[in-house]
Amino acid sequence: MTSPHGKIAHAAIRLIGASIGGTKLLALYIFGATLSTAEMLISIACNNYVRDISDLKKNVFKQIDAATKEKMAKATEAANRATRTKRSKAIVQAEALAEAKIKLAEAKEIEAKANLIDAETEKVQADAKKSKADAEAILKDADSRSIEAQAKLIEVLAKLRNEGGDLYINKNEMQEIIDRGLPRLTSGDK
């Protein structure tokens, strides 16, 4: 059973809460302050009621403390939820950034390989052009040597005919010499 003082306290809390139009916690704060003031006044007037009011005040402050702790726990949980969401978003963003950096590095590596292949291709093309130019030079040199040889042969034949001689070529022997290959001339043979 509730003591008459408890009923009075409960009614006072409801009355104060309704009169200020605030929350129960605010009413408890006001009621606690009111009881503290009443305790001091009553302790001056008579000592018998002081113990009951002091107990009532302690109960009110316990209720205030419990309500405050509950509100703090709810606020902490809400802050943790908000932080957890932000942390999750930050982790996702960091992972996406890391993945983008990896892809960028891969793209740079591919670009470097492509540049290397381009450089090698250009080198091969330059070597091919040089080889072609060398081959053309060799062919031109061979052509000019062939023309020189033909001119020398014509000159020798003309000299031979002027001196009354003639050149006889056996076609079969000539083909055999061609098939075997002409001996290479050294600088001493010229």
Q: Please write the tens of the pLDDT for every residue from 107-144.
A: 898 888 888 888 888 998 988 899 888 888 888 888 88
Q: What is the pLDDT of residue 177?
A: 74
Q: What is the pLDDT of residue 9?
A: 63
- What is the DSSP secondary-structure string of the chain? ---HHHHHHHHHHHHHHHHHT--HHHHHHHHHHHHHHHHHHHHHH-STTHHHHHHHHHHHHHHHHHHHHHHHHHHHHHHHHHHHHHHHHHHHHHHHHHHHHHHHHHHHHHHHHHHHHHHHHHHHHHHHHHHHHHHHHHHHHHHHHHHHHHHHHHHHHHHHHHTT------HHHHHHHHHH-PPPPPTTT-
**Where are the chain's structural domains?**
4-89, 147-180
Q: What is the pLDDT of residue 173?
A: 79
Q: What is the pLDDT of residue 1?
A: 47
Q: What is the pLDDT of residue 187?
A: 52
Which regions of the chain are under pLDDT 50?
A: 1, 190
